Amino acid sequence: MTDVVRYEEQRPAWIELMRPAAELASQIAGTDFVPEAYRRNPAAIAACVMFGAEMGVPPMQSLSKIDVIKGRPAPRAELARALAMA
């Protein structure tokens, strides 16, 4: 056994989403397309988009279907139902 095995660090998939989510967030944070709870808060937008991506939900749907309740992301009922039916 003299084979050399090359180790390549495996990064979690969500790390690859961070930069695009942050870029999207900074571009749309001040628009009327963003719900009031997220408006002018790029960090919250990016977190919401990434949370939605983990469930397979597109970015703009995440913003309109995921609320923050007492500091925790909470999918709205219609999103939870759609995910359960999928």
Instruction: Delimit the domains of the chain by residue range.
Output: 13-85
Tell me the residue ranges of DSSP E strands in the chain: 66-69, 72-75
What's the pLDDT score for residue 14? 73
CB 63 within 8 A of CB 73: no
CA dist 61 and 55 (Å) reads 11
Write out pLDDT tens, residues 33-42.
999 999 999 9
pLDDT digits (tens, 9 = 90+) for 40-86: 999 999 999 999 999 999 999 999 999 999 999 999 999 999 999 98
75 vs 84: CA distance, rounded Å: 12
Closest CA to 51 of 39, 66, 40, 36: 66
